Amino acid sequence: MASFLQKLFGDKKNSKDAAKERLKLVLIHDRASLSPGMVEELRRDLIQVISKYMEFDEQALEVNMNSEDNIAMLEVNIPISHIKRNI
């Protein structure tokens, strides 16, 4: 219940984290020429798929788009807490 209220009303930490996440999405968009909506959709899809196989902190999931030598790379850092063995 408390986490619901924190998400609903927010607090300084959540506001900071939300701003940090928005900034990351803007940077990804700029680097990969993806629309912000497409980046957010990608993040939601990743969460949905990964959730089938493991438990993790969705808020700590990091999605980064980098480019090197004209090659775009997608980096995803996932803080895994438990792997589901019975699928």
- pLDDT of the residue at 28: 60
pLDDT in tens, 50-71: 999 999 998 888 887 766 776 7
Per-residue model confidence (pLDDT) at position 8: 47
- The b/e string for 45-55 (b: 16+ C-beta within 10 A; e otherwise) is ebeeebeeeee
Q: What was the pLDDT predicted at 5?
A: 46
- pLDDT of res. 65: 72
> Do residues 74 and 63 lie in contact, with contact meaning Cβ atoms separated by under 8 Å?
yes
SS3 state of residue 78? coil
Q: Determine contact, residues 78/61, Cβ cutoff 8 Å.
A: yes
The string of pLDDT tens digits covering residues 10-40 is 555 577 877 777 777 666 656 666 666 777 8
Q: Amino acid identity of 87?
A: I
43 pLDDT exceeds 50? yes
